[in-house]
């Protein structure tokens, strides 16, 4: 049940998103987290104040040494800031983790609006990484960028999720947190069709890292042998409680309470 997850993503010095959120989510759901850091960010709840890129060859080295020794049951990608990094990651996974499931969180824009993927790299992401993905987890703005069109409302989300699946990933979880309304709707499109997950919207500014956390939580479930729909359900339940019990830190978009499972001494079974 342990489940090894290699996270390939950027670091968040504020601890709310990125590699830090990924490690917390994987660990608090009983998995074992490993990392390949793609970039360092000077970041807090008020925004991203600087980015220091890691050289592509060193990213590849991190991936290779981890996979060749420890192995992985699932890979999760987050911030891959340019085309060279995307190409590097795709090549490294092909060489060292062929056939290992991949959860791709197409991190494009930080919560505060700072771009985390250069515009010229969107085509590379679409052409090279998406066809490798077991699951793609875009939010609405990211989905609109990948499709090149608006997704105006919840009614359009199912069609958009299917369209995104047409770009190559085996499944798509289109997240509806950016939409308005008292209910958050996420739509999963997979080989069985589409399935809508609904939950009440929690009125809070402490939402930093929700996307990273959800994707890593799903990756943990996959690594532990859970079926995709069950892994998504458990991940959403985990994030929902993490939002409810957010610690209230910071002056901007604060972090989640990743450790709520440790205090409860139980891993949530699902929604």
Domains and CATH numbers, the chain: 4-264 (3.40.1190.20)
Instruction: Specify whether the CB–CB gap between 259 and 249 falls below 8 A.
Output: no
Whole-model pTM over 0.85: yes
**What percent of the chain is predicted at pLDDT more than 70?**
94
From the list 78, 104, 175, 254, the catalytic residue is 175
Per the annotation, the verdict on 209 as an active-site residue is yes
**Catalytic residue from among 15, 31, 78, 209:** 209
DSSP 8-state secondary structure symbol assigned to residue 166: T
Active site residue 74: no
16 is catalytic: no
Instruction: Among 44-48, 106-110, 220-224, name the one with the lowest average pLDDT.
Output: 106-110
210 noted as active-site residue = yes
> Catalytic residue among 14, 211, 221, 233, which?
211
CA distances from 199 to 153, 182, 243, 259 (A): 16, 9, 12, 21
State pLDDT tens for residues 157-206.
999 999 999 999 999 999 988 777 888 899 999 999 999 999 889 988 99
Q: Write out pLDDT tens, residues 9-62.
A: 999 999 999 999 999 999 999 999 999 999 999 999 998 899 999 999 999 999
């Amino acid at each position: 049940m342990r489940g090894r997850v290699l996270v390939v993503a950027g670091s968040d010095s504020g601890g709310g998103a990125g590699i830090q959120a990924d490690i917390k989510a994987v660990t608090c759901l009983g998995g074992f987290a490993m990392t390949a850091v793609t970039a360092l960010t000077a970041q807090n709840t008020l925004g991203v104040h600087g980015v220091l890129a890691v050289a592509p060859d060193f990213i590849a080295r991190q991936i290779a040494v981890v996979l060749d020794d420890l192995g992985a049951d699932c890979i999760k990608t987050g911030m891959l800031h340019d085309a060279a990094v995307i190409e590097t990651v795709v090549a490294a996974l092909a060489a060292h983790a062929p056939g290992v499931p991949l959860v791709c969180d197409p991190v494009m824009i930080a919560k505060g609006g700072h771009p985390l993927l250069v515009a010229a790299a969107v085509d590379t992401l679409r052409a090279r990484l998406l066809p490798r993905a077991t699951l793609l987890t875009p939010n609405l703005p990211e989905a609109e960028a990948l499709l090149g069109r608006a997704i105006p409302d919840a009614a359009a989300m199912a069609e958009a999720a299917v369209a995104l699946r047409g770009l190559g990933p085996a499944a798509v979880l289109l997240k509806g947190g950016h939409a308005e309304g008292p209910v958050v709707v996420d739509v999963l499109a997979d080989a069985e069709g589409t399935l809508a997950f609904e939950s009440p919207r929690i009125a809070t500014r402490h939402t930093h890292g929700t996307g990273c956390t959800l994707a890593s939580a799903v990756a943990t479930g996959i690594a532990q042998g859970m079926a995709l729909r069950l892994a998504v359900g458990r991940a959403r339940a985990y994030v929902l409680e993490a939002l409810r019990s957010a610690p209230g830190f910071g002056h901007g978009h604060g972090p989640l309470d990743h450790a709520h499972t440790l205090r409860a001494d139980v891993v949530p079974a699902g929604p």
